[in-house]
């Protein structure tokens, strides 16, 4: 989902995965004082991260599946889901597993600030251990027109909101991914407004579907999926569900996410899935189901979750709800 305005060296309209050619390597290297893409990190640096201290929460998994949240359709093979990722901090291709292993996961804190009773910074292990973990199978639909079905482990975002004690005047939750260009070299690409930011309304955050993810496939969340904690709003395009969260801010101003800041005409605040509202550069009518050898399925309104979330948007017909 590259949105930087195209110049001579970039791709023409219509190609939706321009990762390989979009990237102007010479300009990037000049802008980052010669730090190359993460794929060329020394193997020793990666190996060291892979053998980080054992994750103190790893033994919490697997957690019991909540049978209320299942999907009519096969669960995507673990190997497929865990090796096809969007995590632009570590690269603009889908192949960032190796690069993402450079992210140190401890110590890790989450700061709660803004319109809250009292600001606080909480260690991730204390936070996870205070939350009721369960597994939910959700469909995930990327704005790039592919989808998968994934068993996430985690806890309702409503519990996170309750924990943070927002003031009644707060209307939105703004969330921030870590910022550490020394391990995530693409954060040195000055054309992107890092860190990755996303947000939603408090009503969305406290909808029963909104889920904070700490695990996947019955295990602790791997780095490429946004460890140690990421969001999952299954009725919205995947870019809303930010990874590796370090800050949660309650505010009365609508947050502007990284993609909206880059290209508001293509990636809006609401970003609810809708097959009838095309992306300016491609159709959203159907989607490639990952791991099925290219099979496609018709995309559902709200990604099939309308019964849970449609009421959130009553009376908001003038808002651009579906981009």
Binding site for ligand MTE (CB under 6 A): 85-89, 142, 177, 196, 225-226, 238-239, 241-244
Least CB distance to ligand MTE at residue 243 (A): 4
Residue 287: CA count within 13 A, CB half-sphere? 27
Distance separating alpha carbons of residues 225 and 214, to the nearest angstrom: 9
Please, which residue, 238 or 257, has the CB nearer to Mo ion?
Answer: 238
Query: Closest residue (Cβ) to ligand MTE?
Result: 238
Report d(CA 14, CA 8) in Å as an integer.
15
- In terms of Cβ atoms closer than 10 Å to its own Cβ (0-12, 13-18, 19+), residue 280 is exposed
241 interacts with, out of ligand MTE, Mo ion, none, CB within 5 to 8 A per kind? ligand MTE
Give the residue with the Cβ less far from ligand MTE, 69 or 186: 186
| 55 vs 198 by CB, closer to ligand MTE | 198
Pair of tokens at residue 140: 């995930």
* Residues facing residue 296 across a β-bridge: 288
Q: 110 has which bridge partners?
A: 122
**For ligand MTE, the closer CB: 2 or 243:** 243
Please count the residues of this chain forming the interface with Mo ion, following the rule CB under 5 A: 4
* Least Cβ distance, residue 273 to Mo ion (angstroms): 11
CA distance 220 to 213: 9
Q: How far is the CB of 29 from ligand MTE (least distance, A)?
A: 21
Residue ranges in 69-98 that form contacts with Mo ion under rule CB under 5 A = 86
Nearest-angstrom CA–CA distance, 29 and 31? 5
Pick what 251 binds: Mo ion, ligand MTE, none; C-beta below 5 to 8 Å, kind-dependent.
none
Query: Which one of the spans 140-148, 186-194, 225-233, 294-302 is the region binding Mo ion (CB under 5 A)?
Result: 140-148
* Contact of 174 with 31, CB cutoff 8 Å: no
Q: Quick one: which of 156, 185, 238, 291 contacts Mo ion (CB under 5 A)?
A: 238
Is 239 a residue that touches Mo ion (CB under 5 A)?
A: yes
With tokens 């889920």, the residue in question is: 211
Name the minimum Å distance from CB 195 to ligand MTE: 8
Transcribe 257-280 into DSSP letters. -HHHHH-TTTS-S--B--TTS-BT
Which is closer to Mo ion, CB of 23 or CB of 239? Answer: 239
Question: What is the phi/psi pair of residue 225, to 5°?
Answer: -95, 0
Nearer to Mo ion, 136 or 243 (CB): 243
| Beta-ladder partners of 123 | 109
Closest CA to 286 of 296, 277, 271: 296
Q: Which is nearer to ligand MTE, 55 or 89 (CB)?
A: 89
| Residue 314 neighbours by CB under 8 Å, 6+ apart | none
Among 37, 38, 102, 142, binds Mo ion (CB under 5 A): 142
Site stretch for Mo ion (CB under 5 A), options 51-59, 109-117, 231-239, 261-269: 231-239
Binding site for Mo ion (CB under 5 A): 86, 142, 238-239
């Amino acid at each position: 989902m590259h949105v930087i305005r195209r110049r001579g060296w970039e791709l023409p309209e219509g190609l939706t995965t321009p990762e390989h050619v979009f990237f102007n390597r010479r300009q990037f290297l000049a802008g980052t004082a010669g730090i190359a893409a993460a794929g060329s990190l020394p193997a020793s640096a990666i190996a060291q991260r892979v053998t980080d201290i054992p994750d103190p929460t790893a033994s919490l998994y697997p957690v019991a599946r909540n049978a209320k949240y299942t999907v009519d359709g096969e669960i995507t093979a673990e190997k497929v889901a865990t090796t096809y990722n969007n995590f632009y901090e570590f690269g603009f291709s889908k192949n960032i597993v190796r690069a993402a292993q450079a992210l140190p996961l401890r110590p890790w804190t989450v700061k709660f600030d803004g319109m809250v009773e009292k600001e606080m910074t909480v260690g991730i292990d204390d936070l996870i251990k205070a939350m009721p973990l369960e597994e939910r199978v959700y469909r995930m639909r990327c704005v790039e027109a592919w989808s998968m079905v994934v068993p996430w482990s985690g806890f309702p975002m409503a519990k996170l909101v309750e924990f943070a004690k927002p003031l009644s005047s707060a209307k939105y939750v703004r969330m921030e991914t870590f910022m550490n260009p020394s391990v995530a070299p693409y954060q040195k690409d000055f054309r992107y407004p890092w860190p990755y930011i996303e947000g939603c309304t408090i009503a969305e955050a406290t909808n029963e579907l909104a889920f904070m993810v700490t695990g996947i496939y019955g295990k602790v969340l791997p780095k490429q999926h946004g460890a140690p904690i990421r969001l999952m709003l299954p009725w919205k395009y995947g870019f809303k569900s930010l990874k590796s969260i370090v800050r949660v801010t309650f505010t009365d101003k609508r947050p502007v996410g990284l993609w909206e800041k880059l290209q508001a005409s293509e990636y809006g605040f609401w970003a609810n899935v809708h097959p009838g509202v095309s992306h300016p550069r491609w159709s959203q009518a159907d989607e490639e189901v990952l791991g099925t050898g290219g099979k496609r399925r018709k995309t559902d309104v709200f990604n099939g979750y309308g019964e849970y979330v449609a009421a959130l948007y009553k009376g908001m017909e003038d808002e651009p709800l579906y981009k």
